[in-house]
Structure 1
Amino acid sequence: MSSTLPLLAANEAPPFARHQAQGRSPFLLIGDHAGRAIPGGLADLGLGGDDLLRHIAWDIGVHGLGSMLAERLDAVFIRQNYSRLVIDCNRDPSSAEAIPLVSDETPIPGNCGLSEGDRQARVAQIHVPYQAAIAAEIAARAAAGMPTVLVSLHSFTPVMAGVPRPWHVGVLHDGHNDRFARSLLARLQGDAALQVGDNEPYRMDGTDYTVPHHAFAADLPYVELEIRQDLIAEAEGQERWCAILAAALGAAWDG
């Protein structure tokens, strides 16, 4: 199952979408795994339809939540349109993890036996344009004298490898300019109804790409948020978490 250049046909979605493009908020929202599209030439990567709806293919709920949050905050939201199984835009493109052979014990047939040209087509036509859009937005904001807080939106499955994950939301950070992330963590932990993870269920570490790539070198304030997928899979839950996060982000920025 080999891709051919160009990877994306003229009638297919672009690699990224920008919502609320004229937003004036200090928050720049991004969704590395918000989409689940598969380029037509990849034949669904050899997977069945049920697998393409699972968490292995995308961060469930982030598209809807990010769009709502962008409108609530008057913030720009840049999201990836293509599935993380085609190429994971939160991984270094040179890493083997960027195009996984297996995800949560599910083999990905369409990622096996790729030529270097196949890999580079995915990098050049999906990963690079998405990252370039984020870089261009940050540069434009800096040129206009606008502050930027990079807010990366992700979601996590309630059970992984048979182990329940009790957190409602996780706040991920890794030093550098993490004062904002820690302030947001404290705001969320102040809500007794929420179980909030500090670098749970994941840690921000060397596997993350987008936030370190854009925020660390530029010394931007940032946070990576993980919301449990069953809480935001439907519009009602997205609206609830939009309200929670908008209030907490605003308070952390003001404070």
Structure 2
Amino acid sequence: MDRKLVVTCEHSDNKVPQQYRHLFERNTEVLETHRGYDIGALELTRTISRNVKSEAYAHEFSRLLVDLNRSLGNPSAFSEYMDGVDKETRRSIVEEYYLPYRQKIKDFMGDLISKGDAILHLSVHTFTPQMNGVEREVDIGLLYDPKRDQEKEFCWAWRRQLERLMPDLKYRMNHPYPGTMDGFSTSIRKELGQDDYWGIELEVNQRFPLSEDSKRWQHLQENITKSLKSVIE
């Protein structure tokens, strides 16, 4: 497959800049939960980028400050912890943390495309095992735009490789979220056609990085990487 792989992780960490820490001083524990960041996603991103030739980007601040995987018009771009923040401060947060990250990646992809390359953008995420008290019946989800045949074909080819290496896991397409919901890759699709850009989101159940079985988590990361390489190559 003749495409340049670009790996991103929009929810990689739970840090809060010093000037905004007071917003969380009454509820600092939320930063350690799945709401504060995607647990295990940064480690998985680094494993993939280390073993598959790719450019990798990770945002170091909590999604509760501003969610880089949402458009600014989305009500969930800012969490409830930002409700008391004035418009000028929100604008400063957007200009300092949101726009530079997204624009840097878009500029990099634009440079590649201008040189005649096509892009495979893999956005790495993890999800909480339970939502609203309901167990999620999926271990690994692959998200794509079903109207984009090439994205769909790639994801099904990747799934087959994953199933070959880890037949005991549960796989679902466009789950636990639809691949067309508001997100970073969705916004890029609006600007680029599928000949230049494929946007895929990888979703992995946080029960693996949260487990005491660190060897299984490491094994899972290695197999995700191995399966991805087999499809790309």
TM-score per shorter chain, which class?
A: 0.7 to 0.9
Q: Deviations over 1:148-188 (max 9, x none)?
A: 20001000011111111131111111232423223223333
CA distance in 1, matches of 2:209, 2:111: 31
Corresponding position of 1:114: 85
Corresponding position of 2:41: 62
Q: Report the CA distance between 1:44 and its aligned residue.
A: 4.8
- Structure 1 pair 133–189 and aligned structure 2 pair: CA distance change class (3 A): same
> TM-score if structure 2 supplies the norm length?
0.86
Corresponding position of 2:231: 252
Counterpart check, 1:50 vs 2:25: no
The structure with more helix, counted as a fraction of residues: 2
Give the alignment partner of residue 171 of structure 1, picking from 135, 142, 146: 142
Corresponding position of 1:186: 160
Give the alignment partner of residue 191 of structure 2, picking from 217, 230, 254: 217
CA distance in 1, matches of 2:32, 2:22: 12
Aligned residues: 222
Corresponding position of 1:199: 174
> Residue 93 of structure 1: SS of its match in structure 2?
coil
Q: Report the CA distance between 1:61 and its aligned residue.
A: 0.5
Mapped contact 2:186–2:199 kept (Cα < 8 A): no
Give the alignment partner of residue 149 of structure 1, picking from 115, 120, 124: 120
CA distance in 1, matches of 2:210, 2:143: 21
Q: What letter is aligned with 1:59? A: D
Counterpart check, 1:124 vs 2:95: yes
Q: Report the CA distance between 1:233 and its aligned residue.
A: 4.0
Mapped contact 2:41–2:125 kept (Cα < 8 A): yes
CA distance in 2, matches of 1:74, 1:44: 40
Q: What letter is aligned with 1:212? A: T
CA distance in 2, matches of 1:216, 1:244: 32
- Structure 1 pair 197–50 and aligned structure 2 pair: CA distance change class (3 A): same
CA distance in 2, matches of 1:199, 1:217: 21
CA distance in 2, matches of 1:159, 1:249: 27
Q: Deviations over 1:2-47 (max 9, x none)?
A: xxxxxxxxxxxxxxxxxxxxxxx82210001112111111125224
Unaligned residue ranges in structure 2 (runs of 5+): none
> TM-score if structure 1 supplies the norm length?
0.79
Moved more, 58-67 or 234-243: 234-243
Counterpart check, 1:78 vs 2:52: no
Q: What letter is aligned with 1:63? A: L
Q: Report the CA distance between 1:250 and its aligned residue.
A: 2.0
CA distance in 1, matches of 2:219, 2:114: 35
> Residue 65 of structure 2: SS of its match in structure 1?
coil
Q: What letter is aligned with 1:204? A: G
CA distance in 1, matches of 2:40, 2:216: 9
